[in-house]
Every structure is written in structure tokens, then in C-alpha cells.
């Protein structure tokens, strides 16, 4: 266990950030899953910008890597075009 006040504070901050990051990452994963399961092209095209916005936000806040964000967006775009 940590012995310094600053180390204890850092543990509290890290836990708070971890929970915050998990929430947004899970929300985005669910949105991606819903978009992938979409069969109607019009609905998929309509929801695509919202999902891309979520992905970009995660990449901007370093929750996911920028290259992973680019790969996700690319794969979703290809899938929508193939509908």
C-alpha cells in the first residue's frame, strides 16, 4: 500500500479516470455493435456520423489510439457501403 499522501491521491484519481474511461469506451463499443448489426442502409448512413463522433472523442482523449480509431471508422464505412 502507498505510504505518501500524493500516492494515495494518485490512486484515487486513477480509479476515477478508469471508471470514466470504461463508461465512454463501453458506450462507444455498444454504438459500434448496433451500427454493425444494422441491415437498413439508410439507418446505417444516418447513425454513422454519431458513431464516428464518439470514436473521434475517444481518440482525442487518448482512451483509444488514433490508429485504432481510424481503423474502426474505415471498417464501418466499408461495411455501410456494402449494404
Q: What is the pLDDT of residue 83?
A: 87
Q: Is residue 83 part of a domain?
A: yes
Please state the domain count of the chain.
1
Average pLDDT over residues 6-35: 96
Asked if residue 1 is part of any domain, the answer here is no
Which pTM does this prediction carry?
0.85
Residue 42 within a domain: yes
Instruction: Establish if 44 belongs to a structural domain.
Output: yes
Residue 58's nearest CA partner among 16, 14, 27, 12 is 27
Query: Is the predicted pLDDT of residue 1 greater than 90, yes or no?
Result: no
| Average pLDDT over the chain, rounded to an integer | 95
Give Cα 81 distance to the centre of its chain: 22
Q: Tell me, what's the pLDDT at 60?
A: 97
Assigned domain for 12 exists:
no
- Asked if residue 35 belongs to a domain, the reply is yes
Instruction: Give residue 51's domain range.
Output: 30-83
Amino acid at each position: 500500500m502507498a505510504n505518501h499522501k500524493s500516492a494515495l491521491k494518485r490512486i484515487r484519481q486513477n480509479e476515477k479516470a478508469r471508471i470514466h474511461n470504461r463508461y465512454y469506451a463501453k458506450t462507444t463499443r455498444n454504438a459500434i455493435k448496433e451500427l454493425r448489426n444494422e441491415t437498413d442502409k439508410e439507418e446505417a448512413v444516418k447513425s454513422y456520423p454519431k458513431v464516428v463522433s464518439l470514436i473521434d472523442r475517444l481518440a482525442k482523449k487518448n482512451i483509444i489510439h488514433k490508429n485504432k480509431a481510424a481503423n474502426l471508422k474505415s471498417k464501418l464505412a466499408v461495411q455501410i457501403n456494402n449494404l
